Amino acid sequence: MDIKVPTLAELASEQQQAEIVFWVGCAGSFDDRAKKITKSFVKILHQAGVHFAVLGAEESCTGDPAKRAGNEFLFQMQALQNIKTLDHYGVKKLVTTCPHCFNTLKNEYPELGGHYTVLHHTQLLKELMKEERLTVKGGTFKGKRITYHDPCYLGRANQIYEAPRELIQKLDAELVEMKSCKSKGLCCGAGGAQMFKEAEPGKKEINVERTEQALETESEIIAAACPFCNTMLTDGVKNKEKENKIKVMDLAEMIASANDL
Protein backbone atom coordinates (compact mmCIF):
# COMPACT_ATOMS: atom_id res chain seq x y z
CA MET A 1 0.00 0.00 0.00
CA ASP A 2 1.58 3.26 -1.17
CA ILE A 3 0.35 6.23 0.85
CA LYS A 4 1.33 9.81 0.19
CA VAL A 5 1.94 11.56 3.51
CA PRO A 6 1.91 15.34 3.07
CA THR A 7 4.20 17.67 4.98
CA LEU A 8 2.92 20.78 6.69
CA ALA A 9 4.92 22.86 4.22
CA GLU A 10 3.09 21.21 1.30
CA LEU A 11 -0.31 21.80 2.89
CA ALA A 12 0.58 25.41 3.69
CA SER A 13 1.47 26.02 0.02
CA GLU A 14 -2.08 24.87 -0.82
CA GLN A 15 -3.56 26.95 2.02
CA GLN A 16 -4.69 23.81 3.84
CA GLN A 17 -4.35 22.65 7.43
CA ALA A 18 -4.13 19.14 8.84
CA GLU A 19 -6.66 17.74 11.28
CA ILE A 20 -3.72 16.48 13.34
CA VAL A 21 0.07 16.45 13.00
CA PHE A 22 1.88 13.14 13.36
CA TRP A 23 5.10 13.72 15.31
CA VAL A 24 7.19 10.81 14.03
CA GLY A 25 10.13 11.12 16.44
CA CYS A 26 13.77 10.13 16.03
CA ALA A 27 13.19 6.40 16.55
CA GLY A 28 10.20 6.32 14.21
CA SER A 29 12.20 8.16 11.55
CA PHE A 30 15.59 6.46 11.69
CA ASP A 31 15.42 3.12 13.55
CA ASP A 32 14.60 0.29 11.15
CA ARG A 33 12.42 -1.54 13.67
CA ALA A 34 10.54 1.60 14.72
CA LYS A 35 9.95 2.57 11.08
CA LYS A 36 7.63 -0.45 10.84
CA ILE A 37 5.55 1.01 13.68
CA THR A 38 5.43 4.37 11.89
CA LYS A 39 4.25 2.74 8.66
CA SER A 40 1.58 0.71 10.47
CA PHE A 41 0.22 3.80 12.21
CA VAL A 42 0.16 5.76 8.94
CA LYS A 43 -1.84 2.96 7.28
CA ILE A 44 -4.37 3.04 10.13
CA LEU A 45 -4.76 6.84 9.93
CA HIS A 46 -5.26 6.54 6.17
CA GLN A 47 -7.89 3.82 6.58
CA ALA A 48 -9.71 5.90 9.20
CA GLY A 49 -9.80 8.90 6.88
CA VAL A 50 -7.74 11.14 9.18
CA HIS A 51 -6.43 14.24 7.41
CA PHE A 52 -2.93 14.35 8.88
CA ALA A 53 0.50 15.65 8.00
CA VAL A 54 4.10 15.44 9.21
CA LEU A 55 6.85 18.02 9.55
CA GLY A 56 9.25 15.92 7.52
CA ALA A 57 12.75 17.36 7.44
CA GLU A 58 11.60 20.26 9.62
CA GLU A 59 11.04 17.93 12.59
CA SER A 60 13.91 17.79 15.07
CA CYS A 61 14.45 15.78 18.25
CA THR A 62 12.13 16.96 21.05
CA GLY A 63 15.15 17.23 23.34
CA ASP A 64 14.04 14.46 25.68
CA PRO A 65 17.38 12.54 25.70
CA ALA A 66 19.34 15.75 26.28
CA LYS A 67 17.10 16.77 29.19
CA ARG A 68 17.22 13.32 30.82
CA ALA A 69 21.00 13.27 30.47
CA GLY A 70 21.21 16.64 32.27
CA ASN A 71 21.87 18.98 29.33
CA GLU A 72 19.09 21.51 29.92
CA PHE A 73 20.72 24.05 27.61
CA LEU A 74 20.62 21.69 24.62
CA PHE A 75 17.06 20.65 25.48
CA GLN A 76 15.85 24.25 25.44
CA MET A 77 17.63 24.93 22.14
CA GLN A 78 15.94 21.95 20.51
CA ALA A 79 12.55 22.64 22.08
CA LEU A 80 12.46 26.32 21.15
CA GLN A 81 13.32 25.53 17.53
CA ASN A 82 10.50 22.98 17.37
CA ILE A 83 8.03 25.36 19.00
CA LYS A 84 8.96 28.06 16.48
CA THR A 85 8.33 25.62 13.61
CA LEU A 86 5.04 24.30 15.01
CA ASP A 87 3.72 27.79 15.72
CA HIS A 88 4.72 28.94 12.24
CA TYR A 89 2.25 26.40 10.83
CA GLY A 90 -0.39 27.11 13.46
CA VAL A 91 -0.29 23.56 14.82
CA LYS A 92 -2.82 22.87 17.58
CA LYS A 93 -2.93 19.07 17.85
CA LEU A 94 -0.20 16.43 17.76
CA VAL A 95 -0.06 12.65 17.94
CA THR A 96 3.03 10.53 18.47
CA THR A 97 3.86 6.83 18.76
CA CYS A 98 6.65 7.59 21.26
CA PRO A 99 5.80 8.14 24.96
CA HIS A 100 9.06 10.06 25.39
CA CYS A 101 8.06 12.57 22.70
CA PHE A 102 4.51 12.56 24.09
CA ASN A 103 5.59 13.41 27.62
CA THR A 104 8.02 16.13 26.51
CA LEU A 105 5.63 17.82 24.07
CA LYS A 106 2.69 17.61 26.49
CA ASN A 107 4.28 18.44 29.82
CA GLU A 108 7.54 20.30 29.19
CA TYR A 109 6.99 22.41 26.07
CA PRO A 110 4.31 24.59 27.75
CA GLU A 111 6.99 25.99 30.09
CA LEU A 112 8.76 27.30 26.98
CA GLY A 113 5.62 28.64 25.29
CA GLY A 114 4.60 25.58 23.28
CA HIS A 115 0.94 24.86 24.00
CA TYR A 116 -0.60 21.97 22.07
CA THR A 117 -3.09 19.17 22.49
CA VAL A 118 -0.89 16.09 22.50
CA LEU A 119 -2.10 12.49 22.15
CA HIS A 120 -0.32 9.18 22.32
CA HIS A 121 -1.25 6.97 19.38
CA THR A 122 -3.13 4.51 21.61
CA GLN A 123 -5.35 7.39 22.78
CA LEU A 124 -6.08 8.50 19.21
CA LEU A 125 -6.83 4.95 18.08
CA LYS A 126 -9.28 4.59 20.96
CA GLU A 127 -10.94 7.90 19.95
CA LEU A 128 -11.22 6.80 16.31
CA MET A 129 -12.94 3.59 17.40
CA LYS A 130 -15.34 5.49 19.64
CA GLU A 131 -16.19 7.80 16.71
CA GLU A 132 -16.64 4.69 14.52
CA ARG A 133 -14.05 5.95 12.08
CA LEU A 134 -11.98 2.86 12.77
CA THR A 135 -13.18 -0.69 13.24
CA VAL A 136 -10.95 -3.50 14.46
CA LYS A 137 -11.38 -7.20 13.90
CA GLY A 138 -9.60 -9.86 15.89
CA GLY A 139 -8.01 -11.48 12.88
CA THR A 140 -4.94 -13.55 13.69
CA PHE A 141 -4.93 -12.25 17.28
CA LYS A 142 -8.33 -13.63 18.25
CA GLY A 143 -8.03 -15.80 21.37
CA LYS A 144 -4.26 -15.36 21.68
CA ARG A 145 -2.61 -14.74 25.05
CA ILE A 146 -1.13 -11.25 25.03
CA THR A 147 0.64 -9.42 27.83
CA TYR A 148 1.08 -5.64 27.80
CA HIS A 149 4.12 -3.72 29.01
CA ASP A 150 3.41 -0.23 30.42
CA PRO A 151 5.94 2.34 29.13
CA CYS A 152 7.11 4.55 32.01
CA TYR A 153 6.36 7.85 30.26
CA LEU A 154 2.90 6.67 29.26
CA GLY A 155 1.92 4.90 32.46
CA ARG A 156 3.38 6.29 35.65
CA ALA A 157 4.26 9.68 34.16
CA ASN A 158 0.88 10.33 32.53
CA GLN A 159 -1.51 7.74 34.04
CA ILE A 160 -2.49 6.30 30.66
CA TYR A 161 -3.17 2.66 31.42
CA GLU A 162 -6.54 1.77 29.93
CA ALA A 163 -6.38 2.96 26.30
CA PRO A 164 -3.74 0.38 25.27
CA ARG A 165 -5.54 -2.41 27.12
CA GLU A 166 -8.86 -1.54 25.49
CA LEU A 167 -7.19 -1.87 22.08
CA ILE A 168 -5.98 -5.37 22.96
CA GLN A 169 -9.48 -6.34 24.05
CA LYS A 170 -10.82 -5.07 20.71
CA LEU A 171 -8.61 -7.68 19.06
CA ASP A 172 -10.62 -10.38 20.88
CA ALA A 173 -7.39 -11.46 22.57
CA GLU A 174 -6.82 -12.70 26.11
CA LEU A 175 -4.98 -9.99 28.06
CA VAL A 176 -2.71 -11.50 30.72
CA GLU A 177 -1.12 -9.04 33.15
CA MET A 178 2.46 -9.31 34.37
CA LYS A 179 3.04 -9.35 38.13
CA SER A 180 4.37 -5.78 37.86
CA CYS A 181 1.89 -3.74 35.84
CA LYS A 182 0.13 -0.39 35.63
CA SER A 183 1.37 1.94 38.42
CA LYS A 184 3.74 -0.80 39.60
CA GLY A 185 5.08 -1.56 36.14
CA LEU A 186 8.80 -2.22 35.71
CA CYS A 187 10.89 -0.03 33.40
CA CYS A 188 12.29 -1.66 30.25
CA GLY A 189 15.66 -0.12 31.06
CA ALA A 190 15.82 2.49 28.28
CA GLY A 191 14.21 5.53 29.95
CA GLY A 192 16.07 8.53 31.33
CA ALA A 193 18.57 8.42 28.42
CA GLN A 194 19.78 4.99 29.64
CA MET A 195 19.20 3.77 26.07
CA PHE A 196 22.32 5.64 24.98
CA LYS A 197 24.84 4.59 27.64
CA GLU A 198 26.52 1.43 28.77
CA ALA A 199 24.83 -0.57 31.52
CA GLU A 200 26.01 -0.01 35.08
CA PRO A 201 27.36 -2.90 37.17
CA GLY A 202 24.70 -5.21 38.55
CA LYS A 203 23.47 -8.78 38.68
CA LYS A 204 20.94 -8.52 35.85
CA GLU A 205 19.93 -6.17 33.05
CA ILE A 206 16.56 -4.47 33.65
CA ASN A 207 15.22 -5.50 30.25
CA VAL A 208 16.03 -9.15 31.03
CA GLU A 209 14.19 -8.90 34.35
CA ARG A 210 11.18 -7.39 32.60
CA THR A 211 11.27 -10.00 29.85
CA GLU A 212 11.29 -12.76 32.46
CA GLN A 213 8.09 -11.28 33.94
CA ALA A 214 6.54 -11.30 30.47
CA LEU A 215 7.57 -14.90 29.84
CA GLU A 216 5.99 -15.94 33.14
CA THR A 217 2.57 -15.05 31.69
CA GLU A 218 3.07 -17.69 28.96
CA SER A 219 1.86 -15.19 26.39
CA GLU A 220 2.41 -15.50 22.66
CA ILE A 221 2.86 -11.76 22.17
CA ILE A 222 4.33 -8.94 24.27
CA ALA A 223 2.41 -5.81 23.31
CA ALA A 224 4.35 -2.56 23.56
CA ALA A 225 3.45 1.06 22.96
CA CYS A 226 6.90 2.64 22.79
CA PRO A 227 9.76 2.16 20.29
CA PHE A 228 12.36 2.10 23.09
CA CYS A 229 10.42 -0.54 25.05
CA ASN A 230 10.04 -2.53 21.84
CA THR A 231 13.82 -2.59 21.34
CA MET A 232 14.62 -3.48 24.95
CA LEU A 233 12.02 -6.25 25.18
CA THR A 234 13.05 -7.67 21.82
CA ASP A 235 16.63 -7.83 23.07
CA GLY A 236 15.38 -9.49 26.26
CA VAL A 237 13.51 -12.13 24.28
CA LYS A 238 16.67 -12.80 22.22
CA ASN A 239 18.67 -13.08 25.44
CA LYS A 240 16.30 -15.86 26.51
CA GLU A 241 16.48 -17.40 23.01
CA LYS A 242 12.69 -17.23 22.71
CA GLU A 243 12.45 -15.14 19.53
CA ASN A 244 10.89 -18.04 17.64
CA LYS A 245 8.16 -18.49 20.25
CA ILE A 246 7.18 -14.99 21.37
CA LYS A 247 6.80 -11.76 19.39
CA VAL A 248 7.17 -8.16 20.55
CA MET A 249 4.75 -5.90 18.68
CA ASP A 250 3.52 -2.34 18.93
CA LEU A 251 -0.24 -1.96 19.22
CA ALA A 252 -0.33 -0.06 15.93
CA GLU A 253 1.31 -3.01 14.20
CA MET A 254 -1.20 -5.39 15.76
CA ILE A 255 -4.23 -3.37 14.66
CA ALA A 256 -2.81 -2.85 11.16
CA SER A 257 -2.14 -6.57 10.86
CA ALA A 258 -5.60 -7.50 12.18
CA ASN A 259 -7.15 -5.17 9.59
CA ASP A 260 -5.01 -6.64 6.79
CA LEU A 261 -3.27 -3.31 6.15
Cross-strand bridge partners of residue 221: 146, 247
Please give the pLDDT value at position 50.
97
Q: Are residues 161 and 185 in the same domain?
A: yes
Say if residue 62 is in the same domain as residue 175.
no
Task: Let me know whether 35 and 113 are in one domain.
Answer: yes
Res 126 pLDDT > 90: yes
Q: Between these two residues, 82 and 199, which has the higher pLDDT value?
A: 82
Average pLDDT along the chain: 95
Q: Is the pLDDT of residue 1 over 70?
A: no
User: Is there a single domain that holds both residue 216 and residue 245?
Assistant: yes
- Are 121 and 75 part of one and the same domain? yes
Q: Is residue 141 part of a domain?
A: yes
Domain with residue 92: its CATH number is 3.40.50.1860
Kindly report, residue by residue over 110-123, the tens digit of the pLDDT: 999 999 999 999 99
Do β-strands 247-250 and 221-224 pair in parallel, antiparallel, or remain unpaired?
Answer: parallel
Instruction: Verify that 21 and 101 share a domain, yes or no.
Output: yes
Helix (H, G, I), strand (E, B) or coil at 49: coil
Give me the pLDDT at residue 13, please: 96
Domain count, the chain: 2
| Residues 112, 12 share a domain | yes
- Mean pLDDT value of segment 59-74: 96
137: pLDDT strictly greater than 90: no
Kindly state whether residue 62 falls inside one of the protein's structural domains: yes
Give 214-241 pLDDT, tens digit per residue: 999 999 999 999 999 999 999 999 999 9
Question: pLDDT at position 70, please?
Answer: 94
CATH assignment of the domain containing 218: 3.40.50
In a domain, 237, yes or no: yes
Contact residues for 57 (Cβ-Cβ < 8 A; gap 6+): 7
User: Considering the domain boundaries, does residue 1 fall inside one?
Assistant: no
At residue 194, does pLDDT exceed 80? no
| 139 and 79 co-located in one domain | no
Q: Clarify whether residues 141 and 247 are in a common domain.
A: yes
Confidence of residue 149 (pLDDT cuts 50, 70, 90): very high
Is 148 contained in some domain? yes
- Conformational region of residue 198, where left means phi above 0, alpha means psi within -120 to 50, and beta covers everything else: beta
How confident is the model over 10-54, as pLDDT tens digits? 999 999 999 999 999 999 999 999 999 999 999 999 999 999 999
Domain range for 219 is 135-258
Give yes or no: residues 166 and 229 share one domain. yes
| pTM of the entire predicted model | 0.95
